[in-house]
Structure 1
Amino acid sequence: MSKRYGRGHWILRDVDVEAPAGEVVAFAGGNGSGKSTLLRIAAGLSRPTLGTVAARPPVVGYVPHRFSPDERMSAMAYLTHMGRVRGLTTSVASARAGRLLDRLALVGGGHAPPLRSLSKGNAQKVALAQALLVEPGLLVLDEPWSGLDSDAHGVLAEIMTEVAAAGGTVVFTDHRESVTRARATRTYTVGAGRVSPRGPEPSSAEQRPASDVVLVAGRDGRVPQDLVLMVLGLFFPLWMGDYTVTPADLLLGLEAQLTCALVGIAIGVLCSRAVFGRRGHALVAALALTTGALFTRGMPPVNRLFTLMSTTPDAAGLLAPAGVMLALSAVILAVSTAVTQFVAGRRE
């Protein structure tokens, strides 16, 4: 996946990493390298400009780099409220918050002063507690040791190990190489918008838990369900009304659906934000091209195919012209893809 804000420079480019379940994954890099942006994308708090995050667990715990809420409520009241937001009952949330605050040794415990009065270290402990109220499948920690005392350092290391041992994934950032090497099972280096592995990767023959978190570029997994819908649309008329359907009719219908699908994909590729930058501009262009393809008289391949089908009753006689329109739609998709890649490359 790749990320940038507006039309600015790419903060992350062509990132393709894995954070398997049961592992502690570190991202190391200097200030401004894009580590925090990468973690926000992994946690679901920010969307990639290109690409997707696959297999993110339903429960994500996130600790930001800076946690300084300007709230008058106490740590216990805040955590109880957050627990209720996440679906816990008041009693369960309160008990869970109390145990976490005791373990992290928050000064004052449940009777600590309001959040706005806490020191940086104690505020960080509250941030850790809120991320752990519900057992996370993915625990995302942005510079988590910042401000913590030495005892809390050890507790945090224990918590990270426990989450991974329970089948969860822990992802964290730290600029200190000694910390990443000591705590992580795999480490990536972030710099100049690129992310690269550092150190040995686990063998592919190793047994991995079933649930992984994967950041991938451009694969959204929708092709199978789209094909199912296309097949259903092709055969559904057989169960509706009194029709005499020949093999030529079925083949013609398949050619027509593939033609429309390829042209639709071509419009979607050409009118992406990689070309237009702004979602509104891309939407207007997509609507204009779709309208033209459907309603501009005789315009190949979609409208031309519709015209032929409405004026020629013989399906067998239309197979060859429909095949030409299908081939033309494939060429249009190829050209649209090439144009999009060229424009996206120039924007970088």
Structure 2
Amino acid sequence: MANTPHTITVEGLTRRFGDFTAVDHVDFTVEQGSMTGFVGGNGAGKTTTMRMIMGVLSITEGQVLWGERPITVADQRTIGYMPEERGLYPKQKVLDQLIYLGQLKGLTRTAARESVMTLLERLNLAERANDPVEALSLGNQQRVQIAAALMIEPSALILDEPFSGLDPEAVDSMADLLREHTARGVPVLFSSHQLDLVDRLCDQLVILAGGRVRGSGSPAELRGGAPRRHRLVAVRDAGWVRDIPGLAAVDVDGPTAIIDLPSDSREERHRLLGEVLAEGLRRGGVEELSPIIPPLSEVYREVTA
């Protein structure tokens, strides 16, 4: 039976090691059925925060809520956790090891075996089930660790760099598995240095630097809402964009122009785009008029600068 999902809320979470503050009053929420990306450089505090959520590391200040109440050890046991340090026994067979880990989580041997074999099939590892872990590539060892986190039908998922070392096919398989969990209400928090992947998968992002939250929200919110810059490719020279009132021509190079819509009004921005399109058509045609979406890496650099 699947464990019941709950929202995870981190309030004022702080961890000090002597005089060093690794995590400094961090606040965020991982909603049921949502995928939240935890982004930050090495030493930002991501792993320390995850360890505190899971009870692996004690909390100096603050608390972790499970729904509306403080999280308990019993709650933490229902969470699928993938730690930074992979805890696999290299000489033990994949299947035997996963069944053992499932039993530690409270599954019967039969239930553990059934769950493990289903996951190994999904992760294209079924034919390696009786191989020792040390015989697998690092990417395949990563898949085994992922199976260990998912096998208990978790109430939540806390995954530290789950996509590290995976090839594109394995990334897609893993992403599909995570989406299946969020579809049944499971909150998912995972850290990653792959910003393009976080951007593609996540409903919410939490950006950490120096142990503090420097930005949070949906990818669109972190980008500042609707894009203001657009690329225009006209059939003829686009220098005429400089003459449209209320429009800023950032760059014009022959038929290509980068334009900025400085107004905060959605209606005004739409009006300006309509005027650009109409004028471009009048002057010979328009091949492209498209928004410029800043990459997440650019947003990351801005909020952590």
Range into which the TM-score falls when normalised by the shorter chain: 0.5 to 0.7
Q: Does 1:147 align with 2:181?
A: no
CA distance in 1, matches of 2:216, 2:62: 23
Q: Could you tell me which residue of structure 1 aligns to residue 119 of structure 2?
A: 100
- Equivalence for 1:197: 215
Q: Pairwise mapping of residues 87-166 of structure 1 onto structure 2 (< 5 A)?
A: 87-106=106-125, 108-111=127-130, 113-166=131-184
Aligned partners of 1:202, 1:50: CA distance in 2, in Å? Answer: 32
Q: Distance in 1 between matches of 2:127 and 2:191?
A: 29
**Alignment of structure 1 residues 19-34 onto 2, 5 Å:** 19-34=30-45
Q: Are residues 1:9 and 2:20 paired?
A: yes
SS in 1 for 2:37: strand
Is contact 1:98–1:109 with CA below 8 Å preserved after alignment? no
| Matched AA of 2:16 | R
The alpha-carbon distance between structure 1 residues 18 and 71, as it changes in their structure 2 partners (threshold 3 A), is same
Q: In structure 2, how many angstroms separate the alpha carbons of the residues matched to 1:44 and 1:20?
A: 20
Higher relative contact order (CA 8 A, sep 6+): 1
Task: Check whether the contact 2:199–2:219 (CA below 8 A) recurs between aligned residues.
Answer: no
Amino acid at match of 1:84: Q
Superposition RMSD on alpha carbons, in Å?
2.0
Q: Bigger CA drift: 38-47 or 188-197?
A: 38-47
Alignment partner of 1:54 is 2:65? yes
Aligned-pair CA distance for 1:201: 8.7
Deviation string, structure 1 residues 84-132 (Cα, Å, up to 9, x no partner): 1122111111111111111101273322x21233221111111110111
The residue type equivalent to 1:167 in the other structure is G
Give the secondary structure class of the aligned counterpart of 2:121.
helix
State the distance in 1 between where 2:218 and 2:188 align.
18
Q: Distance in 2 between matches of 1:165 and 1:141?
A: 17
Instruction: Encode CA deviations 1:307-348: one digit per residue, 9 max, x unaligned.
Output: xxxxxxxxxxxxxxxxxxxxxxxxxxxxxxxxxxxxxxxxxx
SS at match of 1:2: strand
Runs of 4+ in structure 1 deviating by more than 6 angstroms, as ranges, are: none
Give 1:40's match in structure 2, choosing from 48, 51, 54: 51
Q: Distance in 1 between matches of 2:65 and 2:26?
A: 13
1:276-295, aligned counterparts within 5 Å? Answer: none
TM-superposed deviation, 1:28: 0.6
Partner residue of 2:283?
none
2:93/2:132 contact within 8 Å kept? yes
1:156 aligned counterpart, secondary structure: helix
The amino acid across from 1:190 in the alignment is L
In the TM superposition, what are the counterparts of 1:164-175 in structure 2 within 5 Å?
164-175=182-193
Displacement of 1:38 in angstroms is: 1.3
Separation of aligned partners in 2, 1:124 and 1:85 = 20
Counterpart Cα distance in 1 of 2:86 and 2:127? 19
Which amino acid letter does the alignment assign opposite residue 59 of structure 2? P
Give the aligned residue type for 2:60.
T
The corresponding residue for 2:254 is none
In structure 2, C-alpha distance between the alignment counterparts of 1:54 and 1:184, rounded to whole Å = 21
Secondary structure, aligned partner of 1:125: helix
Distance in 2, Cα, partners of 1:201 & 1:180: 9
Structure 1 unmatched ranges of 5 or more? 204-348
CA shift in 2, pair 1:201/1:103, >3 Å: closer
Q: Which consecutive unaligned segments of at least 5 residues does structure 2 have?
A: 1-12, 222-305
SS at match of 2:139: helix
Aligned partners of 1:81, 1:149: CA distance in 2, in Å? Answer: 27
Q: Which amino acid aligns with 1:183?
A: L
Q: C-alpha separation between the residues in 1 aligned to 2:153 and 2:106?
A: 12
Structure 1 residues 120 and 68: alpha-carbon distance in aligned structure 2, compared to 1, 3 A threshold:
farther
| Equivalent residues of 2:117, 2:126 under 8 A apart | no
Residues matched between the structures, number: 201
State whether residues 36 and 190 of structure 2, in contact with CA within 8 Å, keep that contact through their aligned partners in structure 1: yes
CA distance in 2: counterparts of 1:34 and 1:93, whole angstroms? 33
State the percentage of identical aligned residues.
32
Counterpart AA for 2:209: G
Aligned counterparts of 1:163 and 1:42: Cα–Cα separation in 2: 19
Question: What is the alpha-carbon distance in structure 1 between the residues aligned to residue 97 and residue 218 of structure 2?
Answer: 42
CA distance in 1, matches of 2:38, 2:138: 23
Larger Rg: 1
Match of 2:290 in 1: none
Q: Which has the higher helix share?
A: 1
- Cα drift, residue 33 of structure 1: 1.1
Shift of 1:51: 1.2
Match of 1:83 among 98, 102, 120: 102
Q: Distance in 1 between matches of 2:153 and 2:55?
A: 17
